[in-house]
Amino acid sequence: MNKLSIEDIAERAHNKAFSKMLYIKDDIKRINKEIKTGGNGSIPVDMLRKSVTNMKHDLQTWEYIAKLIETDDFREPI
């Protein structure tokens, strides 16, 4: 198996972080719509609200990780 270059690893990390943030944002939108309609009955609305809160915390964490990736020098070997 070929090892990735540091530049490739940094780019993959960047892509994964931003992909994860988009996924979380889409989930937050979807669940907020579900909350507005009263839910689908399988999960209580209060549980959906807690899920959104947790997703927002996850989003903040991924935004921090993305900032670190963007601002730090990842050119040094691991």
Provide the residue type at 15 as one letter. N
Question: Is this prediction's pTM over 0.95?
Answer: no
**For residue range 19-38, what is the model confidence (pLDDT) as tens digits?**
999 999 999 999 999 999 98
pLDDT bucket at 7, cuts 50 / 70 / 90? confident
- How does residue 70 score in pLDDT terms, banded at 50, 70 and 90? confident
CB-CB neighbours of 62 under 10 Å: 20
Residue 76, pLDDT > 90, answer no
